[in-house]
């Protein structure tokens, strides 16, 4: 008998008491606490197994097929025909197999001829049942021993359990599922969430500022002029910076010294400001180029210049470049209109080129991590996504000039900075009609760059002309955090791909700042965070 | 200061006199009958590669307007002004459009414009189209 059928629990009175207790009992059983479970059943007078199911179980395990069918008929009275038919089919099949094994052919025939039609089974189904029996492998083994029969009956019960409707049988691990749903929902609304550590059940989950980089940890001073570009290597162990002092620098993270960044190489060879660098996917090579500069290839380990591209074509200035996943081929876009896009190998041989009047000046260029698509931003409002295999091209026309491009690490999304002070997020698959828009930073005259970062690329960081670094959670169009520290325009940011709590920023004040986890929220800030949810 | 982002214009365009940065297209001229302190000025529907100064209310020949002075992003020289808000109804068409002083820009055919005579002090305007 079920007790307290109409009692309700919860502050809003939405939970039924007897259901709550029943799933508690199920939970105890599934965790292995049989004694506690049955104790709870006694104390509350609520059984995990409903009366109907208990009855069915007894009939099946003892082979009382007639009563079994009667119980099934009653249970399935109000449910959809499909499950009822399947259940009946399974029971009849087991029943027939047993009769035939025993040698009771007349009983078996009786089932097929009389009982099945009585239960509402169609002729076609009965024929199919008969065929099934003949071919079933259980029939091949001859005499059946009692163990085999019991096993088969237990299997039948398991199958029946899946078909029987609620509330006679409830889905397994129901309580675990409900708790996990609540936790997932809390994580969804958590704007600072940045780690995969297990969540505590003791309080509602809500991460604070200590999960994302928000305090200056280190200031790198080595460049003699404005720093225009910064990027972590794919392994997250190195950092590359480029400056208007015509050099690029490679820095190393000292793992044993709390990840302090130290200068490893200064790459000198360019005659003009360097505005862009690109790490090869295996991090052994680095490309440098500038809006008014040629493209150069360097060896990361030694800092030695390997190659200058377009040697015989001086004046082939490259605005942007990207690598293919094999770290052997690269592609670069010219900062002059009609010079086009050229694909090279690391020895300087030209593999492929796109030239001509359809190719205006390239503002920025990227290759997706799987090497299948090339995204190009053309002067100044056009984005073209070219699938290299199929040669299919997709064009997105923005309404305002685009200054930079960045692709997410999973290759599914990319962001562009517009000089109208907005960052637009597009999907590579081309399903979105409108981009997601983020704003709050300042950009009007200069090239400001942004990047994805954090756990699962759920954050965006951008530089700004007001000398601050802006961070957004993808769920919110307004900035999550604004980081102050630099004294002049922040040109570029890079989030460490292997350390979601480390961010680097490059500024006109000639320094690079490394940002790390902040102090936990002050009480007022925490309240603000709650309001945003 | 940072890497300047310059928009390139294709076709007949007006450029900054000092650094030749593209400022506006010939096709975007709305009116050629504007006057400034130094003489002729053109009204454009769109200009690029400029940044704006502080907002000011100015009394022009055609009435009170809220304007911002605009400067070339590359060399910083003053090139004209942009109408942000017009107080008179029949001047509303100017809102959002920019005026480039002919004296401060190279024309599309390389034509330059020299200050011919002293024009009266105080902001001018016109075009009562």
Instruction: Convert the pLDDT of each residue in A380-403 to its tens digit.
Output: 789 999 999 998 999 999 988 899
Q: Which residue of A has its CA nearest to B7?
A: A380
The C-alpha R_g of chain A, in whole angstroms, comes to: 34
Contact between chains at B2 and A447 (C-beta distance less than 8 A): yes
CA distance A162 to A165: 8
B1–A508: do the CB atoms touch at under 8 Å? Answer: yes
A229: β partners: A242
Contacts of A31 (CB under 8 A, 6+ apart): none
Task: List CB contacts (< 8 A) between A398 and chain B.
Answer: none
pLDDT(B53) > 70: yes
From the CA of A173, how many Å to the nearest CA of chain B? 58
Tell me which residue of B28, B52, B32, B57 sits closest to B42, measured CA to CA. B32
Residues of A in contact with B74 (CB under 8 A): none
Predicted confidence at residue A290, as pLDDT, reads: 84
Mean residue pLDDT across chain B: 82
What is the rounded average pLDDT of the residues A209-232?
91
For tokens 């809500």, name the residue. A206
Contact B2 A226 (CB under 8 A): yes
Interface residues of A toward B, Cβ cutoff 8 Å, are 226, 228, 244, 273, 275, 291, 337, 360-361, 379-380, 401, 403, 419, 444-448, 465, 488-489, 491, 508
Q: What's the rounded mean pLDDT across residues A83-89?
A: 79
What pLDDT was estimated at residue A148?
A: 77
Which chain B residues have a beta carbon less than 8 Å from that of A228? 2-3
CB within 8 A of A116, min separation 6: which ones? A92, A125, A126, A129
Contact state of A491 with B3 under an 8 Å Cβ cutoff: yes
Q: What is the mean pLDDT of residues A2-30?
A: 83
Token pair, residue A162, equals 């899946």
Mean pLDDT computed over A297-320: 83
Window 29-68 of B: residues touching A by CB (8 A cutoff) are 48, 51
Q: What rounded mean pLDDT belongs to chain A? A: 85
Residue A151 has pLDDT above 50, yes or no: yes
Please tell me which residue of chain A has the smallest CA distance to B73. A445
Cβ–Cβ below 8 Å for B3 and A444: no
Q: Is B70 on the interface with A (CB under 8 A)?
A: no
pLDDT of residue A230: 95
More confident position, A114 or B118:
A114
CA-based nearest distance B56→chain A, Å:
20
Q: What's the mean pLDDT in A370-376?
A: 93
Closest-CA residue in chain A for B76?
A445
pLDDT for A189 equals 84
Strand partners, B29: B44
Cβ of A273 within 8 Å of Cβ of B1? The answer is no
Q: Give chain B positions within 8 Å (CB) of A401.
A: 5, 7, 48
> Residue B117: pLDDT band by 50, 70, 90 thresholds?
very low
Min CA distance, A445 vs chain B (Å)?
6
Q: How far apart are CA A355 and CA A334, in angstroms?
A: 10
Residue-level pLDDT at A27: 92
What is the pLDDT, as a whole number, of residue B120?
A: 40
Share of chain A above pLDDT 90, in %: 42
Residues of B in contact with A337 (CB under 8 A): 8
Residue A235: the pLDDT is: 93
Which among A226, A445, A488 has CB closest to B5?
Answer: A445
Residue pair A209/A521 in contact by the 8 Å Cβ criterion: yes
Q: Which residues of chain B are within 8 Å of residue A360 when distances are taken between CB atoms?
A: 8
Q: How confident is the model over B26-51, as pLDDT tens digits?
A: 999 999 888 887 888 999 999 999 98
Q: Is the pLDDT of residue A420 over 70?
A: yes
Which residues of chain B make contact with A244, given a CB cutoff of 8 A? Answer: 3
pLDDT in tens, A226-240: 999 999 999 999 999
As for the ipTM of the complex, it is 0.70
The per-residue pLDDT for A325 is: 93
Whether residue A44 is predicted with pLDDT greater than 50 in this model: the reply is yes
Phi and psi torsions of A253, nearest 5°: -85, 120
Q: Is the pLDDT of residue B6 over 80?
A: yes
**Six-digit token string for A100:** 């035939």
pLDDT greater than 50 at residue A524: no
Q: Tell if the CB–CB gap between A379 and B73 is shorter than 8 Å.
A: no
- Identify the pLDDT of residue B4: 81
Chain A within 8 Å of B4 (Cβ-Cβ)?
A: yes
For an interface test with B, which of A241, A417, A445 has the most B Cβ atoms less than 10 Å from its Cβ? A445
Query: What would the pLDDT profile of A243-285 be if each residue is shown by its tens digit?
Result: 999 999 999 999 888 888 999 999 998 888 999 999 999 999 9
pLDDT given for residue A460 in this prediction: 94
Do residues A71 and A61 make contact, with C-beta atoms less than 8 angstroms apart?
A: no
Test B2 with A401 for CB contact under 8 angstroms: no
User: Domains in chain B, ordered, with CATH?
Assistant: 13-106 (2.170.150.20)
Percent of chain A with pLDDT over 70: 92
Contacts of A469 by beta carbon, 8 Å cutoff, 6+ apart: A461, A462, A463, A482, A483, A485, A486, A490, A493, A503, A505, A513, A515
CB contact under 8 A, B2 and A508: yes
Tell me what the mean pLDDT of segment B46-72 comes to: 90
What is the number of other CB atoms lying within 10 angstroms of the CB of residue A431?
6
Buried b (16+ CB within 10 A) or exposed e, A59-95: bbeeeebeebbebbeebbeeeeeeebbebbbbbbbbb
Residues of chain A contacting residue B8, judged by C-beta atoms under 8 Å apart: 337, 360-361, 379-380
Q: CA separation (Å) from A133 to A67, A98, A130?
A: 22, 10, 5
The residue that leads in pLDDT, B114 or B78, is B78
**A498-512, pLDDT tens digit by residue?**
999 999 999 999 999
pLDDT at A458 over 80: yes
Flag whether pLDDT at A351 surpasses 50: yes
pTM for this model (two decimals): 0.75
User: How far apart are alpha carbons A16 and A7 in whole angstroms?
Assistant: 6
Q: Please give the residue of chain B at the shortest CA–CA distance from A492.
A: B2
Q: Which residues of A touch B1 (CB under 8 A)?
A: 226, 445-446, 488-489, 508
Residue B128 scores a pLDDT above 50: no
With cut-offs at 50, 70 and 90, classify the pLDDT of residue A63: confident
- Helix, strand and coil in chain B, % to nearest 5: 10, 45, 45
């Amino acid at each position: 008998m079920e007790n307290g059928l109409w009692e309700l629990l919860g502050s809003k009175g939405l939970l039924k008491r007897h259901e709550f207790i029943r799933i508690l009992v199920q939970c105890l059983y599934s965790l292995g606490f049989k004694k506690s479970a049955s104790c709870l059943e006694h104390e509350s007078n609520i059984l995990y197994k409903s009366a109907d199911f208990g009855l069915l179980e007894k009939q099946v395990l003892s082979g009382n097929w007639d009563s079994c069918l009667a119980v099934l008929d009653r249970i399935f009275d109000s449910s959809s025909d499909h499950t009822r038919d399947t259940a009946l089919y399974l029971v009849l099949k087991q029943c027939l197999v047993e009769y035939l094994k025993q040698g009771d052919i007349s009983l078996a025939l009786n089932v097929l001829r009389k009982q099945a039609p009585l239960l509402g089974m169609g002729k076609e189904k009965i024929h199919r049942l008969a065929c099934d029996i003949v071919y079933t492998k259980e029939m091949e083994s001859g005499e059946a021993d009692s163990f085999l029969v019991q096993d088969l009956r237990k299997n039948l019960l398991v199958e029946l359990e899946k078909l029987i409707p609620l509330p006679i049988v409830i889905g397994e691990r129901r309580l675990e599922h409900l708790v996990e749903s609540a936790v997932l929902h809390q994580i969804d609304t958590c704007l600072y969430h940045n780690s995969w550590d297990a969540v505590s059940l003791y309080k509602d989950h809500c991460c604070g500022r200590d999960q994302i980089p928000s305090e200056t940890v280190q200031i790198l001073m080595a460049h003699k002029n404005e720093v225009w570009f910064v990027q972590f290597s794919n392994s997250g162990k190195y950092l590359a910076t480029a400056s208007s002092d015509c050099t690029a620098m490679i820095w190393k993270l000292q793992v044993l010294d709390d990840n302090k960044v130290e200068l490893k190489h200064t790459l000198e060879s360019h005659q003009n400001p360097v505005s862009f660098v690109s790490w090869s996917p295996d991090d052994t090579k680095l490309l440098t180029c500038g809006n008014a500069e040629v493209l150069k290839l360097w060896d990361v380990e030694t800092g030695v210049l390997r190659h200058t591209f377009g040697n015989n074509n001086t004046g082939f200035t490259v605005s942007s470049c990207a690598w293919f996943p094999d770290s052997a081929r690269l592609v670069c876009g010219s900062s002059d209109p009609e010079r086009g896009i050229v694909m090279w190998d690391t020895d300087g041989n030209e593999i492929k080129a796109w030239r001509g009047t359809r190719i205006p000046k390239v503002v920025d260029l990227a290759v997706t991590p799987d090497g299948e698509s090339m995204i190009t931003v053309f002067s100044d409002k056009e984005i073209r996504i070219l699938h290299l295999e199929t040669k299919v091209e997709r064009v997105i026309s923005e309404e305002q000039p685009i200054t930079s491009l960045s692709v997410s690490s999973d290759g599914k999304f990319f962001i562009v900075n517009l000089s109208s002070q907005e960052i637009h997020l597009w999907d590579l698959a081309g399903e979105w009609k409108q981009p997601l828009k983020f704003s709050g930073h300042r950009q009007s005259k200069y090239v400001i760059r942004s990047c994805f970062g954090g756990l699962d690329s759920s954050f965006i960081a951008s530089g700004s002309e007001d000398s601050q670094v802006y961070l957004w959670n993808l769920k919110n169009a307004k900035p999550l955090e604004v980081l102050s520290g630099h004294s002049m325009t922040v040109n570029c940011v890079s989030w460490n791909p292997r350390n979601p709590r480390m961010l680097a920023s490059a500024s006109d004040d000639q320094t690079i700042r490394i940002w790390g986890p902040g102090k936990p929220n002050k009480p007022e800030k925490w309240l603000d965070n709650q309001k945003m949810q | 200061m940072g890497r300047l982002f310059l928009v390139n214009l294709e076709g007949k365009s007006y450029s900054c006199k000092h650094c030749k940065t593209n400022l506006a297209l010939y096709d975007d001229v709305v009116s050629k009958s504007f006057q400034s302190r130094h003489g002729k000025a053109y009204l454009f529907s769109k200009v690029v590669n400029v940044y704006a100064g502080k907002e000011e209310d100015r009394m022009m020949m055609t009435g009170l307007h809220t304007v911002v002075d605009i400067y070339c992003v590359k060399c910083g020289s003053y090139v004209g002004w942009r109408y942000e808000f017009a107080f008179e109804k029949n001047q509303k068409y100017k809102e959002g459009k920019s005026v480039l002083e002919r004296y401060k820009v190279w024309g599309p055919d390389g034509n330059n414009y020299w200050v011919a005579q002293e024009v009266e002090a105080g902001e001018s305007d016109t075009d009562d189209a």
